[in-house]
Amino acid sequence: MTHESRDAIESLFQENRLFAPPQDFGRGSRMTPELYRALLAEAESDYEGFWARLARAELEWLTPFTRTLDASGAPHYRWFDDGTLNVSANCLDRHIAERGAKPAIIFEGEPGDVRVLTYRELLAEVSRFANALRAHGVKMGDRVIIYMPMVPEAVIAMQACARIGAIHSVVFGGFSSDSLKDRITDAQAVAVITADGGHRGGRVIGLKAICDKVLGDCPSVRTVFVLRRAGNEISWQEGRDVWWHDAVAGLSDSCPPVAVGAEHPLYLLYTSGSTGRPKGIQHSSAGYLLGTILTMRWVFDIREDDVYWCTADIGWVTGHSYVAYGPLACGATILMYEGAPMIPDPGRFWRLCERHGVTIFYTAPTAIRALKKHGDDYPRAYNLDKLRLLGSVGEPINPEAWMWFYRVIGQERCPIVDTWWQTETGVHMIAPIPGLTATKPGSCTRPLPGIAADVVDAAGEPVKAPDEGGFLVIKRPWPAMLRTIWGDAERYRETYWARFENRYYVSGDSARRDADGYFWVMGRVDDVLKVSGHRLGTMEIESVLGAHPQVAEAAVVGRPDDVTGEAICAFIVPRAALADSAARSVLGSDLRRWVADKIGPIARPAEIRFASNLPKTRSGKIMRRLLRAIARHETIDEDVSTLENPDIVRELKAPPE
């Protein structure tokens, strides 16, 4: 038996293994069994009172709120909406008296350069840059695009926007110029904050050059702030472009935080859905920040002396809630790393953990699987004794990866928190409480206090039997939830609420709950893929492929992949028949490059198959189920004779190029 197949079978048998919380962990942990029970009971008996009490305890308000939940515009819920506060003041100013000299950010660049910013220094940098934004006319409510490498200035830029009430929208540095343009245009951003370049994978990614490709088509942008990071040559547009260091020169390092309403949008973050166009998920200020703080305490058990490392890029929601906001609001020390995990070798993450004394390590299953592939010697070469807690996010973690993470990285001492949540939920929703919840490899365990998660059937009724699959829904609004889709309230209602007549928030995931009440996320019910933990819509990729001059029709499906979770498989009908395999291979490479150019390298198909048509029903609908089976090399046992074109299946099954 091969190693792989033995692993797979093992996972089937071992799904019910239960790992009791390590005894040592509980000592000194923020959550005691009594507190946990009390929180659950309080949320149950007085839902609004529960959130109101926590919002008063955890946030520093400029004007206290008197209304907790306003459901009058449901499903556009409003929380704490007559209160005012400032998110940046809640993350920085509040710590200065007690923790001014404590490191807020420990940064390591891919080339190995290290920089430490204390809370006092971070506040000064944020204030100075906030003043620079203002000096360039950025006002409360303006949208600002952040397109940056993973350097401290990325967080400084986000916090500076929050300080003056500007709404940021971070675009992942791996997205292409077209994706950037779509986001700038949808948000009607007045400014872009970028860098000359960033170090990634041993190369310099020229971010400013990518911006330059499209800024000519973005008339709303008046100012482009450029951080000098990689020192690469860039072009310059006088009057529009300004160096970060010039913009802050001579400005004061004090900038009084403005009071914004609790519901003031803190940021927009674009994410893929089941239709072609990414949607701008809009988050609030107070409710969102409250959620990040509570989950930092409950799920990460954040303590004063922790060195906390979340490997997510600030381009994703994880980099917002668990890098730029939550940990700072809790006064924690965070590690930020600019580069790729394999540079210069697959030991980089573990070397970073050792060098900076990381105690909490939060990453994605795809990274765990990629590092596991390189064996145990890399992690064993480093001292990982300071680690006390491990976390996982982004996709279901398979039991083999979980076990490796647990044994080799956590040395059977660290609990693993498998956290289920989404860009839309803002913060963790279903996750273990380390030190309290016994874990099962592959399950995100139970909903957090105040989170009414359930699994319902097609009629919206809770599934009756344990392990019955259904729609994962949230039955009550929660403070950190998205508020709407920027500029498209109708799409917000349609996407998240319409399925069950506005009764529940519909996550788009399917799940089952076992006899112990543990949730097992099974996957998406819509056409959203998770490739290396990144969320991509199949329709988005299809519409890009369909726009290629040589493509008549395209269909995209996912297939399981050992490392990336899912891999993209594209079926292409070319406009003109391709003469031979050489012609197919030329067009194949061209299409891969095309997708990388239009969306970003993460969306590049792993496999492309050509055929003279796609399998369709008599009414012309593409049979995606069949395409998925073909992509997975499964035997097709369903009757294909009802297809419009049954012969096409044989053609599509031909080995890919």
Q: Smaller CB distance to ligand WTA: residue 68 or 423?
A: 423
Sign, CA torsion 453/455/457/463:
negative
What distance in Å separates the CA atoms of residue 36 and residue 32, rounded to the nearest whole number?
6
- Shortest distance, position 507 Cβ to ligand WTA, whole Å: 6
Residues 428-457 that bind ligand WTA (CB under 6 A): 444
Sequence letter at residue 530: K
Question: Which residues are CB-contacts of 639 (< 8 A; sequence separation ≥ 6)?
Answer: none
Residue from 143, 264, 535, 592 in contact with ligand WTA (CB under 6 A): 535
- Shortest distance, position 638 Cβ to ligand WTA, whole Å: 26
- Shortest distance, position 101 Cβ to ligand WTA, whole Å: 33
DSSP 405: I
Q: Are 188 and 220 in contact (CB under 8 A)?
A: yes
List beta partners, residue 198: 205
Q: Are 615 and 606 in contact (CB under 8 A)?
A: no
- Shortest distance, position 419 Cβ to ligand WTA, whole Å: 5
What distance in Å separates the CA atoms of residue 254 and residue 587, rounded to the nearest whole number?
56
Residues 126-145 that bind ligand WTA (CB under 6 A): none
Residues 60-89 that bind ligand WTA (CB under 6 A): none
Q: Smaller CB distance to ligand WTA: residue 363 or 419?
A: 419
- Shortest distance, position 198 Cβ to ligand WTA, whole Å: 21
278, 320, 41, 273: which is closest to 155 by C-alpha? 320
Q: Smaller CB distance to ligand WTA: residue 176 or 532?
A: 532
Q: Which helix (H) or strand (E) holds 424?
A: none
> ω before 75 within 30° of 0 (cis)?
yes
Residues 238-267 that bind ligand WTA (CB under 6 A): none
Q: Are 120 and 96 in contact (CB under 8 A)?
A: yes
**Pairing assessment for the beta strands 191-195 and 143-147 based on DSSP bridges:** parallel
Q: Smaller CB distance to ligand WTA: residue 118 or 422?
A: 422
Phi, psi dihedrals of residue 31, rounded to the nearest 5°: -105, 120
What distance in Å separates the CA atoms of residue 544 and residue 418, rounded to the nearest whole number?
34
Secondary-structure percent of the chain, ordered helix, strand, coil, rounded to 5: 35, 25, 45
Q: Smaller CB distance to ligand WTA: residue 108 or 509?
A: 509
**Pairing assessment for the beta strands 470-474 and 453-456 based on DSSP bridges:** antiparallel
Binding mask 411-430 for ligand WTA (x = CB under 6 A): -------xxxxxx-------
Q: Which stretch binds ligand WTA (CB under 6 A): 166-174, 501-509, 544-552, 560-568?
A: 501-509
In angstroms, the first-to-last Cα distance of the chain is 28
Q: Smaller CB distance to ligand WTA: residue 396 or 479?
A: 396
- Shortest distance, position 406 Cβ to ligand WTA, whole Å: 15
Cα–Cα distances in Å, from 13 out to 16, 423, 440? 7, 33, 12
> Does residue 509 belong to the site contacting ligand WTA (CB under 6 A)?
yes
- Shortest distance, position 318 Cβ to ligand WTA, whole Å: 5
- Shortest distance, position 521 Cβ to ligand WTA, whole Å: 4
- Residue 160 CB neighbour total at 10 angstroms: 29
Residues 278-337 that bind ligand WTA (CB under 6 A): 316-318
**In this chain, which residue has its C-beta nearest to ligand WTA?**
423
Q: Smaller CB distance to ligand WTA: residue 177 or 422?
A: 422
Q: Smaller CB distance to ligand WTA: residue 301 or 313?
A: 313
- Shortest distance, position 430 Cβ to ligand WTA, whole Å: 8
Residue from 89, 290, 293, 393 in contact with ligand WTA (CB under 6 A): 393
> Does residue 401 belong to the site contacting ligand WTA (CB under 6 A)?
no
Provide the H-helix boundaries in 206-285: 207-215, 244-248
Interface residues toward ligand WTA, by CB under 6 A: 271, 316-318, 393-396, 418-423, 444, 507-509, 521, 524, 530, 535
